[in-house]
């Protein structure tokens, strides 16, 4: 097996791991296998092709490298903040706020499944491997990806910081980044530990999903709160510490710059600085102590309680309404059951649902701060409801993955002549199960705020979303539903960003149509025709 660079770096800390009672040799071997497996994921449906194996292995590596390059481009956002020199608490709060937003989002959506993985236990616990060693291997596995993303995001800012502010700023920035990464990973693990301790069975799996949605909403709202910490007076940024700001964590990591470089010994800044250093270290120490309990409670995820039969009849009836062929109805019901029962699917998709719920309202509340309600209710801010469609690419990309991916041989065994009905049935289930509930909830709230005058616009929004589903399908890598194994699909996320811009084009056309008499109605007729044609033709051209 390949000896990865990350493992060679890890070797430098061998003594530390041995001191905390981790079997370093075993942990390194487990990590080496995990990193090797990350590069060998292959859909079962293509497992007969050696050419495909080589292609997909290279594609995974290239995708992850490409995603790091995209993160590198994102890092240019930090450059103006790093170049400023007069208000470190302001500029570094935004830098750490954005970094934490990106990392927490990535961690709960892409790596929670790694942290809560229980397959290791079935394989490795039959060998003489301690729980602490196995759990630390998981922790380091996630940390390797998280640090790769972090340094892709901060590589350019670190170089600019060294040139602009000197070596002390550079070292301080680097140290804070490491502490922040440690804090983000550990605090997420401790949160999962808390949930595992108090819940069991199916309820535990549901609670984990709810917590992920709550986390996503908290992150989005927290980042908005960060923007409101500072007042702009005569082109100067003014920060007045208050008690509740102790809960805004990016402030902790920004304060050491103010204390050490500007020698500002305000009591609040000193306390923020102490929290930035002490809390990640104490959290990590607590995590180390609770590792055996974490692994023990993780076993609860294996406790399958028979779920009660609930909506089978309703789904059957619904499939007869929205699907037109027998094959389509079958895969509608199949996809609905898979999305309902696949724990890994929920772990990866539900956090983005949290963003979909909260993002339309963030723009709305931003405007409420500076405008009276009467102005808002007569405005076109209701178009912010389009933000809930930003989760489509992420959710649709996950539909091809499954824990039971080996059953994909059925696609070949069944007398299926073409795959269009499979895709149509699956994506109709996706719309009914995931898109419609969120859209209906937000539409009702928006009608309450903006009145019934927006109903034609909401119909147009929904039709645009249906077309956006087809766009996402055409743009995303193709694979039959639930036919590939879950892994760290971080590299694939890179394609999501350009797809999102296509939605903004539809929003722009909708916005322009509102300035013309009957513009929205004409757009509804046009997009309805496009939807009918697109849903008939788009799925016929694959695999």
Higher pLDDT, 105 or 437: 437
Please report where in the chains the tokens 């082109």 appear, as a residue: 235
Mean pLDDT value across the chain: 79
Q: Tell me: the pLDDT tens digits for 93-148?
A: 888 888 887 787 777 766 776 777 777 767 776 777 777 788 888 888 888 888 88
Structure tokens at 59: 């594609």
Higher pLDDT, 88 or 178: 178
User: Is pLDDT at 475 greater than 80 in this prediction?
Assistant: yes
Average pLDDT, integer, range 199-205: 66
User: Is pLDDT at 244 greater than 70 in this prediction?
Assistant: yes
pLDDT of residue 444: 92
Residue 234's pLDDT band (cuts 50, 70, 90)? low
CB 290 within 8 A of CB 193: yes
Higher pLDDT, 60 or 203: 203
pLDDT of residue 78: 84
User: Is pLDDT at 59 greater than 60 in this prediction?
Assistant: no
pLDDT of residue 201: 59
Angle between helices 519-537 and 455-475 (to 10 degrees): 30
| ∠ Cα 19 21 22 (to 5°) | 105
Q: Tell me: the pLDDT tens digits for 385-433?
A: 998 888 888 888 888 888 777 777 877 777 777 788 888 889 999 999 8
pLDDT of residue 51: 45
User: Is pLDDT at 197 greater than 60 in this prediction?
Assistant: yes
Strand partners, 237: 232
Angle between helices 167-198 and 249-261 (to 10 degrees): 160
| Percent helix, strand and coil across the chain, each to the nearest 5 | 80, 0, 20
Q: Tell me: the pLDDT tens digits for 266-310?
A: 888 889 899 999 999 998 888 888 877 777 777 776 665 555 555
- Candidates 90, 355, 100, 101; CA nearest to 227 is 90
Percentage above 90 pLDDT, the chain = 11
Q: Tell me: the pLDDT tens digits for 8-24?
A: 888 888 888 888 888 88
pLDDT of residue 474: 86
Q: Which of 73-82, 341-350, 456-465 has the highest mean pLDDT?
A: 456-465
Q: Is the pTM of this model over 0.85?
A: no
Three-class secondary structure assignment of 35-51: HHHHCCCCCHHHCCCHH
Q: Give the span between the Cα atoms of 447 and 462, in whole angstroms.
A: 14
pLDDT of residue 3: 74
Residue 44's pLDDT band (cuts 50, 70, 90)? very low
Structure tokens at 382: 């209701």
Question: Rounded to the nearest 5°, which phi and psi values hold at 63?
Answer: -60, -45
What end-to-end distance do the CA atoms of the chain give, in Å?
A: 33
Would you give the DSSP letter of residue 401?
A: B
Q: Which of 175-179, 195-199, 301-305, 491-495 has the highest mean pLDDT?
A: 175-179
User: Is pLDDT at 490 greater than 60 in this prediction?
Assistant: no
Residue 461's pLDDT band (cuts 50, 70, 90)? very high
Q: Give the span between the Cα atoms of 524 and 95, in whole angstroms.
A: 42
Q: Tell me: the pLDDT tens digits for 71-94?
A: 788 788 888 888 876 778 888 888
Report strand pairing: 236-239 vs 230-233. antiparallel
pLDDT of residue 42: 45
Structure tokens at 83: 């170049």
| ∠ Cα 333 353 364 (to 5°) | 135
- Cβ neighbors of 482 (< 8 A, separation 6 or more) are 335, 338, 342, 399, 400, 401, 402, 404, 405, 407, 408
pLDDT of residue 510: 93
pLDDT of residue 53: 46
Question: Rounded to the nearest 5°, which phi and psi values hold at 230?
Answer: -115, 145
Torsion of CA 13, 18, 23, 27, to 10 degrees: -20
Residue 322's pLDDT band (cuts 50, 70, 90)? confident
Percentage above 70 pLDDT, the chain = 83
**Cα dist. 56→38, 51, 350, 404 in Å?**
11, 9, 27, 20
Say which range, 51-55, 150-154, 348-352, 503-507, has the weakest mean pLDDT. 51-55
User: Is pLDDT at 263 greater than 80 in this prediction?
Assistant: yes
Q: Cα 459 to the chain's mean position, in Å?
A: 28
Question: Residue 244 belongs to what H/E stretch?
Answer: none
- Candidates 369, 361, 504, 514; CA nearest to 442 is 361
Please report where in the chains the tokens 């956002």 appear, as a residue: 77
User: Is pLDDT at 542 greater than 70 in this prediction?
Assistant: no
Average pLDDT, integer, range 242-261: 84
pLDDT of residue 500: 79
- Candidates 376, 302, 366; CA nearest to 120 is 302
Structure tokens at 252: 């902790």
Residue 235's pLDDT band (cuts 50, 70, 90)? low
Would you give the DSSP letter of residue 12?
A: T
Q: Give the span between the Cα atoms of 494 and 497, in whole angstroms.
A: 6
Average pLDDT, integer, range 192-207: 72
**Other CB atoms closer than 10 Å to residue 14's CB: what's the count?**
14
């Amino acid at each position: 097996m390949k000896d990865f660079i990350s493992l060679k770096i890890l070797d430098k800390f061998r003594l530390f791991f041995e001191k905390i009672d981790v079997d370093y040799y075993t942990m390194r071997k487990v990590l080496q296998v995990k990193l090797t497996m990350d590069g060998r994921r292959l859909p079962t449906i293509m497992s007969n092709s050696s050419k495909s194996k080589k292609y997909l292995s290279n594609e995974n590596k290239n995708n992850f490298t490409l995603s790091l390059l995209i993160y590198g481009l994102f890092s240019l956002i930090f450059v103006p903040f790093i170049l400023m020199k007069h208000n470190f608490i302001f500029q570094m709060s935004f830098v750490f706020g954005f970094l934490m937003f990106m990392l927490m989002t990535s961690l709960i959506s892409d790596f929670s499944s790694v942290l809560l993985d229980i397959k290791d236990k079935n394989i490795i616990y039959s060998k003489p491997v301690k729980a602490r060693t196995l759990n630390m291997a998981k922790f380091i596995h996630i940390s390797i990806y998280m640090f790769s993303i972090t340094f892709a995001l901060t590589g350019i800012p670190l170089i600019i910081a060294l040139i602009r502010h000197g070596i002390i700023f550079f070292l301080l920035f680097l140290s804070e980044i490491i502490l922040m990464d440690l804090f983000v990973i550990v605090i997420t693990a401790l949160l999962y530990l808390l949930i595992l301790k108090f819940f069991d069975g199916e309820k535990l799996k549901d609670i984990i999903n709810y917590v992920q949605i709550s986390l996503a909403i908290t992150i989005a709202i927290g980042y908005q709160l960060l923007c409101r910490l500072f007042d702009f007076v005569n082109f100067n940024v003014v920060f007045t510490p208050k008690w509740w700001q102790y809960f805004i964590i990016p402030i902790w990591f920004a304060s050491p710059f103010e204390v050490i470089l500007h020698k500002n010994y305000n009591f609040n800044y000193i306390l923020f600085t102490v929290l930035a250093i002490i809390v990640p270290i104490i959290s990590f120490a607590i995590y180390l102590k609770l590792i055996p309990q974490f692994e023990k409670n993780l076993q609860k995820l294996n406790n399958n309680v028979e779920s009660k039969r609930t909506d089978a009849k309703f789904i059957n009836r619904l499939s007869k309404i929205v699907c037109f062929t027998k094959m389509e109805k079958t895969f509608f019901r199949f996809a609905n059951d898979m999305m309902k029962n696949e724990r890994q699917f929920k772990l990866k998709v539900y956090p983005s649902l949290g963003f979909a719920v909260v993002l339309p309202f963030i723009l709305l509340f931003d405007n409420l701060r500076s405008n009276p309600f009467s102005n808002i209710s007569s405005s076109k801010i209701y178009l912010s409801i389009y933000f809930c469609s930003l989760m489509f690419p992420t959710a649709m990309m996950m539909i091809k993955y499954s824990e039971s991916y080996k059953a994909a041989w059925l696609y070949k065994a069944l007398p299926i002549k073409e795959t269009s009905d499979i895709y149509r049935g699956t994506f109709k289930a996706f719309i009914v199960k995931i898109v419609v509930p969120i859209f209906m909830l937000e539409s009702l709230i928006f009608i309450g705020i903006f009145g019934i005058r927006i109903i034609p616009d909401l119909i147009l929004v929904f039709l645009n979303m249906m077309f956006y589903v087809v766009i996402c399908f055409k743009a995303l890598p193709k694979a039959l539903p639930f036919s590939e194994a879950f892994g760290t699909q971080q590299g694939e996320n890179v394609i999501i960003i350009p797809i999102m811009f296509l939605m903004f084009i539809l929003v722009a056309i909708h916005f322009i149509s509102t300035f013309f008499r009957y513009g929205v109605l004409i757009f509804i007729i046009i997009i309805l025709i496009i939807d009918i044609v697109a849903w008939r033709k788009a799925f016929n051209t694959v695999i």
